Amino acid sequence: MNLGFLGIQFSFGLQQSNMAPIYNYLGAEEAHLPLLFLAGPVTGLLVQPIVGAMSDRTLSRFGRRSPYFLFGAILCSLCLIAMPFSPALWIAVSLLWILDAANNITMEPYRAYISDRLVADQQSRGFLMQASFTGLAQTLAYIAPTLFVALGIDRHAVDANGIPIITKAAFATGAVLSTATIGWSLYRVRELPLTPDQRAAIEAQPRSPGATLAEIGHAIRAMPPAMRQLGWMMLFQWYAIFCYWQYIVNALALGVFQTSDPASSQYRDAALLNGQIGAFYNLVAFGAGFVLVPLARRIGAKFTHSLCIALAGAAMLALPLIRDPVLLFLPMLGIGIGWASMMGTPYILLARAIPSARTGVYMGIFNMMIVIPMLLQTLTLPLIYNPLLGGDPRHVLLLAGALMLVAAACGLRVTDRRDAEATDV
């Protein structure tokens, strides 16, 4: 059932590890990198809540969720094929807008599909298994260029636009996985048929665009208190991780290879090194997803998550101090553990807080708590990059580490309904 996450997250992994270098190869200015990533938060903010509400109300012979994530997967594959052939910066940016929209069409219904299939006692395992598949997929996405080098492709071979050939091979691989894994998951684990009462309730609901927007607005106003508390934690942790993804290659290029020139071979070496350490932290996330299941049951989801993202914050603070490429793998342990928890544990807390009949719309709204921090980051970081951070990408990583520690503190204040029920008993 979760295999489809392999394809979805392989695509996200390619974006995380390759879009900043692609933008730099095509002539982007370092201070403007966040603005070029505006597609992700904006499309997530607009697409996921709408698609979530629509999927809650969909009645088709293919199911409620399936038509959305199948269409999104196909569109995603087409964009992945085209992206590394971009001849100009504006084309790459435009393709990222379409790619992120496709990913968001796929993501929310897929999460709701998992929630629909699982009873309450299985949801912790289901969402943390998603975290493990996320770790595995992004491990493969990050390491793919290195694997193609091992297969004999010249690591420094580039096309006329300066984009490495190994990057093109990695994106082509992602295009195949995006559709194939989601199709396989759906083939093996079909959506559960609706009961007559569920179908009648859906048929009684209006389906106009205005009704969908009204449903989103009503759901926001009626948002459970625990979900509102999660918003503060999400604000700081996703602002931090977006900083990390955008500037890690530039920070490695400057700190380890002493260059800030995207046309240099040292910069391409930094991008390849990021792929290797990124693959390692995602491999850690893959393994950590299995460990977090019993840990969350033992000490509670919120304590588990706060501990994990605190480790990630400490790791980000340590990264700018390291000059030896081998030693960079040590802080990746903390980032991998934190990333595994970010992709799974908050959804445990969310699933316990929201009514099951409105899973789709609340999953979409919860995604707004991911993309709004990203949107704030893309708009505010360019304003402080030179005056406050000295135009140094390593200082962005220090900011990210500090914000991740703040997120860990906010996580401790979230009300876990399981804990509350245990106290009442």
SS3 per residue for 102-134: HHHHHHHHHHHHHHHHCCHHHHHHHHHHHHHHH
pLDDT at 161 over 90: no
- pLDDT at 423 (0 to 100): 34
Task: Inform me whether the pLDDT recorded for 171 exceeds 90.
Answer: yes
* More confident: 236 or 371: 236
Contact call for residues 131 and 32 (beta carbons, < 8 A) = no
Cα 31 from Cα 139, distance rounded (Å): 28
pLDDT digits (tens, 9 = 90+) for 107-124: 777 777 777 777 767 766
Query: With the CA atoms of 384, 306, 411 and 242 taken in that order, what torsion angle do they form, in degrees rounded to the nearest 10?
Result: 30
Q: What is the DSSP letter of 190?
A: P
The pLDDT of residue 420 is 46
Query: What does the pLDDT read at residue 172?
Result: 94
Contact 403, 374 (CB under 8 A): no
Helix (H) / strand (E) containing 218: helix 209-221
Q: Which two tokens stand for residue 364?
A: 């979409």
User: Residues 26-55: what's their mean pLDDT?
Assistant: 82
Contact, 97 vs 39, CB < 8 A? yes
Identify the pLDDT of residue 106: 82
Q: Regarding predicted confidence, which is higher, 204 or 326? A: 326
| Neighbour count for residue 91 (Cβ, 10 Å) | 15
User: What global pTM score does this model have?
Assistant: 0.77
Rounded to whole angstroms, the Cα distance separating 48 from 65 reads 12
The alpha carbon dihedral of 380, 383, 389, 391 has a sign of positive
Give the residue-averaged pLDDT of 86-103.
91
CB 348 within 8 A of CB 128: yes
- pLDDT for residue 395 is more than 70: yes
**Angle at alpha carbon of residue 114, lines to 109 and 117, rounded to 5°:** 120
pLDDT band at 43 (very low <50, low <70, confident <90, very high): confident
184 with 8: CB under 8 angstroms?
A: no
pLDDT tier, 424 (very low <50, low <70, confident <90, very high otherwise)? very low
Structure confidence at residue 2 as a pLDDT band (50, 70, 90): confident
As a whole number of angstroms, the distance between CA 10 and CA 18 comes to 12
Number of residues in the chain: 425
At residue 164, φ and ψ (nearest 5 deg) are -60, 145
* Contacts for 185 with CB less than 8 Å, ≥ 6 apart: 1, 2, 3, 4
Lowest mean pLDDT among 93-107, 199-213, 246-260, 303-317: 199-213
> 164 has which bridge partners?
158
For the cut 50, the answer to whether the pLDDT of residue 48 exceeds it is: yes
**Which pLDDT score is estimated for 235?**
94
Three-state DSSP state, 324: coil
Confidence of residue 208 (pLDDT cuts 50, 70, 90): low
pLDDT at 248 over 80: yes
Which has more pLDDT, 81 or 371? 81
For 6, residues 6+ apart whose C-beta sits below 8 A from its C-beta are 133, 136, 137, 140, 177, 181
Dihedral sign (CA 59, 65, 70, 75): positive
